[in-house]
Structure 1
Amino acid sequence: MAGISGPTRLTGFSGQLDTDSLVKKLMDTERVPLNTLQKKKQLTLWQREDYRSMNTSLLTLRKAMNELRFENKFETVKSTSSNTAVLDVVSSGANPGVSSVKITQLANSASVISEKVNKLPTEKLNINGSFTIEGADPAKSVEITITADSTIDSVLKDINGASAKTGVKANFDRASGVLYLNSITTGAGSKVKVTDANGTFANIFGANTTLTSEGKDAAYSVNGTNITATSNSVNINGVQVTLRSLGEASIGAVVDRSAAVDKIKDFVKQYNELVDKFSEATTAKKNRGYQPLTTEEKENMTESQITLWEKKARQGDLYNDSLLKDTLFTMRSALNMPLEGITNPPDPKSQLRMLSQIGVNVMNDFRENGKLEIDEKKLEEAINTRFDEVKLLFTKSSDTPSDTPENMKKRKSELGFADRLYETISAQLTKFTKKIGSGSIEALDESVLGKQLKDYNTRETDLERKLVDIENRYYKKFTAMEKALQKLNSQGSWISSQLGG
């Protein structure tokens, strides 16, 4: 009885009654209604948790259907390069047709390269002085100070420490003993300049080092039109490419429809998994021999025993559940309804109107509970030869409003199977939310199970208070009995002493 406690009690006055043990046995009987209520509450929590699992499966299926609701999901355009050594495709865009590309110059960064330095990177330079590093913006130049204790490593650290300002980074190749100063950006706007008024830089890195360098833009043509760019990563007619070397290459496009097959397969997979899960939940009967355990019962069991017991106790908590059965029924109905409302079909007699026409069939074995199976050869043939009809079979829209039962039925028949099933699942998810809410499994919200748990909590608190009162009355009675026995014992001892005297 959490949160409710009784007064401190003193027992054992007579030495003849084990009051605590007697009261406990009496209270075990009194607690039966509370234990029954708590078991019902636990069953409701388990049921809510299992509903959440079913809800998750529905969301997964709806996500799969969403991948089939839009025409652009059915095919992808893959751009290719005729010469990847010259031009490499990074990512495809819209169908670009064919673009002929000729690269006459690659973009590069500004770069100053020193003469060979005959010192180790950690060896002291033993000179004093300074030089200035400048990038594209002269106003952001930085002076590098050299002392006798400076080393090649410390000079690099100073240059790179200011690179965010100057836009110039330094690297030192230990093998060749050469310093590289490079602009962070590429293109004609990039620049590296070393101002060496006192000859400090020349003293360290060589007097013949060229101290100024400018970058170059990429130069290329697309279908005869000349273009320049500051980077070798460019977008050509919606396709992101990398310019690799001078030369010629063409960008073509290949339409890939395998995505449609994969998405249909995924839909069938998710649908079958949901059917299995819902069917198993609604047909697994309750194991009446197992009920949720009380706290006292758990104290006498190991963790593994508790886990096994509770697995059996929660079995069948969704047996014959009307919400799950209704969900399966509405989805099967949506899949078995032919597509209507097609205007100007290529061939009215052969227009695709059922999933079975593209190789998606309901399994004949009744034990499979209406699961689907795919004739892959038939599906691929439909994709390759009747692609537009397959798209329409899944993506067709409807302008019919859902304002009357007749219009709702008409609208459903006019919707492609993806939109149709998507709307069906969304409607069932709304029912799930009304049943279980959207918070934690213990949330006392306005859902059906939330209200039920709220009622259980109120009744549980009332019963706990009553049990405290009952327990207090028992202790009061037994305390009075113990005092009476103590008094009788005292009187008996006195009489015995008198008679003995």
Structure 2
Amino acid sequence: MINNNMRMTGFASGMDINQMVKDLMQAERLPLQKMEQDQLWLTQRRDAYREVNTKLLEFDNKFLDMRMSSTYTSKTASSSSDAISVTASNQATDGNYSFEVTQLASAATRYSGVDGTAFGQGYDADQALAAEYVGEEVSFAYHDQSPDSPKTVSFTIQDGESLNDVLGRISEESGGAVRAFYDQNSDRVFMERTETGDFNQGGLEFEGLNAFFTDTLNISADEQGGKDAEFTYNDIAMTSHSNNYQFNGMNLTFNSTGSANVSVSHDVDGSVDKIKEFVEQYNELIDFMNEKVGEERHRDYPPLTEDQRKDMSEREIELWEERSKSGELRNDGILRSALSGMRSAWYESVDNPNGDLSRMMDVGITTTSNWRQGGKLEIDETKLREKLQENPSAVHRLFSNSDEGNSRGILNRVEDVVESTRDRIRDRAGTATQTEHQYTMGRELKNMAERMANFERRMQQTEQRYWDQFTAMEKAMQKYNEQASFMMQNFGGGMQ
């Protein structure tokens, strides 16, 4: 610490000691300013690396879709009629299929008011039930596909519960297998299975309906039984408990009765679109990385320190930083290695057991003829469609065979380069969650901070030395002035 109490600021000499020390220290601190700028430049380069790693991670996530066989072998399906909706999985076989729906599946249903009784228009289903119903048991049973069918549900009515509360509990206690609700417009309570189909020969019955249902809710002992969907495939009769049916890799939804011709084919358009999207994202990555390694470095525009910013306008700072941040990764070895590695991966051949589709050019994908574009890809869409139509599995193998060695798919090799590059950047520039000692540039920044702190301590000592020297000078001059004044007084007295 500098001892301010011992400072003498020019009373004896008449000099501006404060300004003289300030000017001397400004010259002494020039090396510190250079260290601050070096520290800021290293921080900017670290952040530039991390930006690249973020871009690489975003692109790396795109490989998942490209590794899946569905990208190359997906199917599309269409129906000639609104009676049936259809989608197709990859397992569906190409071709035409003929269906006719003669009956839709329905759920078993009971409702109140069959005998003409009613709650009465304006009935408040949210009003608490009368005290006579508190403690009354609500019990019913329903059928499903389980061998333990029928399943019994029972609970007791609680004090303060309304009709809507009780009907809601029917759904809750049955796990959603049965739902019940009051429709004010028709003045009826409905109770029905949420699952369609005929599960028990002759209709689905709510067995064990007790007095609460028959006397209080006026629900009839008769019901509308659940029905199976009935349809034919090529005149062969078939049934389904629901209006959804899985057939040879197709998902059929029965919307109404009627006939429909269903067509299944390879979704070449979908495959081409996904490959084109991937190539576009790859080209964007190549543009980004090429821009980074080719940016001009403006060495005359080092990063601005806080002291330098104070003397500049916002516009001046903006223009300066635009040049200062240019070229942070110019000719960077990691990025150049990545660009070279990815470009080579696209050119390499893949051992294919069928003897064809061993190179990307076989499916119409090549690097552009303009070498200035740095290895960007272009697609011959006609050729790509042709190969996807002929043998989508071979295209998938060429792109994404997970084997090692010469059989490894092209995209797997590109991904290997991407992941290796990300590892190298992490080792050098770290991540936001790492401490400085865990990566190379962090350790460099830590060492620079320590050197700057040591330099700052030396500057404090230097400043104290200047003050000590000027203070000693001031004391000497003050003593001289006192002696001269004394002599002048004595000499002047002798003259009189």
Q: TM-score, normalised by structure 2?
A: 0.77
Deviations 1:127-185 (A, max 9, x none): 65326543435552232668xxx9xxx43245425642255554343433334344555
What residue number does 1:156 align with?
A: 164
Distance 1:176 1:144, change over 3 A: farther
CA contact (8 A) 1:186 1:215 kept: no
**Structure 1 position 37 matched with structure 2 position 45:** no
Distance 1:288 1:19, change over 3 A: same
What residue number does 2:147 align with?
A: none
- Does 26-35 or 104-113 show the bigger shift? 104-113
SS in 2 for 1:468: helix
Root-mean-square deviation (CA, aligned residues, Å) is 4.0
CA contact (8 A) 1:35 1:294 kept: yes
1:256 offset after TM fit, Å?
0.9
Pick one of 121, 124, 140 that aligns with 2:154.
140
Write the distance in 1 (CA, Å) between the matches of 2:179 and 2:416.
57
Amino acid at match of 1:175: N
SS in 2 for 1:129: helix
Write the distance in 1 (CA, Å) between the matches of 2:294 and 2:19.
45
Write the distance in 2 (CA, Å) between the matches of 1:309 and 1:422.
38
Write the distance in 1 (CA, Å) between the matches of 2:244 and 2:65.
31
| 1:102-181 aligned within 5 A | 104=103, 106-114=105-113, 116-122=118-124, 129-130=132-133, 132-136=137-141, 138=152, 140-143=154-157, 154-160=162-168, 163-165=171-173, 169-181=179-191
1:29 offset after TM fit, Å?
1.8
1:74 offset after TM fit, Å?
0.8
CA contact (8 A) 1:106 1:245 kept: no
SS in 1 for 2:220: coil
What residue number does 2:48 align with?
A: 50
| 1:192-203 aligned within 5 A | 195-196=210-211, 201=216
Write the distance in 2 (CA, Å) between the matches of 1:276 and 1:332.
13
What residue number does 2:89 align with?
A: 92
Distance 1:306 1:179, change over 3 A: farther
Deviations 1:9-51 (A, max 9, x none): 2345654454443333222222222221221121112112222
What residue number does 2:361 align with?
A: 356
Write the distance in 2 (CA, Å) between the matches of 1:127 and 1:388.
70
| 1:73-472 aligned within 5 A | 73-81=71-79, 83-85=81-83, 87-89=84-86, 92=89, 94-95=91-92, 104=103, 106-114=105-113, 116-122=118-124, 129-130=132-133, 132-136=137-141, 138=152, 140-143=154-157, 154-160=162-168, 163-165=171-173, 169-183=179-193, 188=199, 191=206, 195-196=210-211, 201=216, 209-210=219-220, 216=226, 218-220=228-230, 224=236, 229=241, 231-233=242-244, 235-246=246-257, 253-337=264-348, 339=349, 341-345=351-355, 351-385=356-390, 387=392, 389-395=394-400, 400=405, 411=406, 414-437=407-430, 439-440=431-432, 443-472=435-464
Deviations 1:74-99 (A, max 9, x none): 120234455443x4336736226758
Q: Which runs of 5+ in 1 are unaligned?
A: 1-5, 346-350, 401-410
Distance 1:198 1:425, change over 3 A: closer
What residue number does 1:408 align with?
A: none
Write the distance in 2 (CA, Å) between the matches of 1:464 and 1:190.
90
SS in 2 for 1:419: helix
CA contact (8 A) 1:186 1:216 kept: yes
**Structure 1 position 473 matched with structure 2 position 465:** yes
Distance 1:278 1:199, change over 3 A: closer
Amino acid at match of 2:173: K
1:316 offset after TM fit, Å?
0.9
CA contact (8 A) 1:358 1:382 kept: yes
CA contact (8 A) 1:62 1:422 kept: yes
What residue number does 1:404 align with?
A: none
Write the distance in 2 (CA, Å) between the matches of 1:314 and 1:182.
69
Deviations 1:325-377 (A, max 9, x none): 2222222223234x2544453xxxxx444433433233233333332222323
CA contact (8 A) 2:104 2:243 kept: no
Pick one of 20, 23, 30 that aligns with 1:22.
20
Write the distance in 2 (CA, Å) between the matches of 1:435 and 1:176.
74
Distance 1:398 1:494, change over 3 A: same
CA contact (8 A) 2:77 2:264 kept: yes
Distance 1:55 1:463, change over 3 A: same
Distance 1:195 1:174, change over 3 A: same
Write the distance in 1 (CA, Å) between the matches of 2:426 and 2:128.
75
CA contact (8 A) 2:105 2:243 kept: yes
1:228 offset after TM fit, Å?
5.2
Write the distance in 2 (CA, Å) between the matches of 1:35 and 1:200.
93
1:311 offset after TM fit, Å?
2.2
SS in 1 for 2:186: coil
SS in 2 for 1:466: helix
What residue number does 1:3 align with?
A: none
Write the distance in 2 (CA, Å) between the matches of 1:200 and 1:392.
69
Write the distance in 1 (CA, Å) between the matches of 2:213 and 2:89.
54
Write the distance in 1 (CA, Å) between the matches of 2:210 and 2:478.
110
Write the distance in 2 (CA, Å) between the matches of 1:274 and 1:38.
33
**Identity across the alignment (%):** 27
Distance 1:140 1:320, change over 3 A: same
Write the distance in 1 (CA, Å) between the matches of 2:21 and 2:205.
91
Amino acid at match of 1:201: T
What residue number does 1:9 align with?
A: 4
SS in 1 for 2:264: strand
1:468 offset after TM fit, Å?
2.6
Deviations 1:229-266 (A, max 9, x none): 3x545544554444434566676532212233223322
SS in 1 for 2:436: coil
Write the distance in 2 (CA, Å) between the matches of 1:369 and 1:73.
27
Distance 1:195 1:399, change over 3 A: closer
Write the distance in 2 (CA, Å) between the matches of 1:72 and 1:341.
22
CA contact (8 A) 1:61 1:270 kept: yes
CA contact (8 A) 2:140 2:209 kept: no
1:380 offset after TM fit, Å?
2.5
Distance 1:318 1:128, change over 3 A: closer
1:442 offset after TM fit, Å?
7.8
CA contact (8 A) 2:2 2:460 kept: no
Amino acid at match of 2:4: R
CA contact (8 A) 1:163 1:169 kept: yes
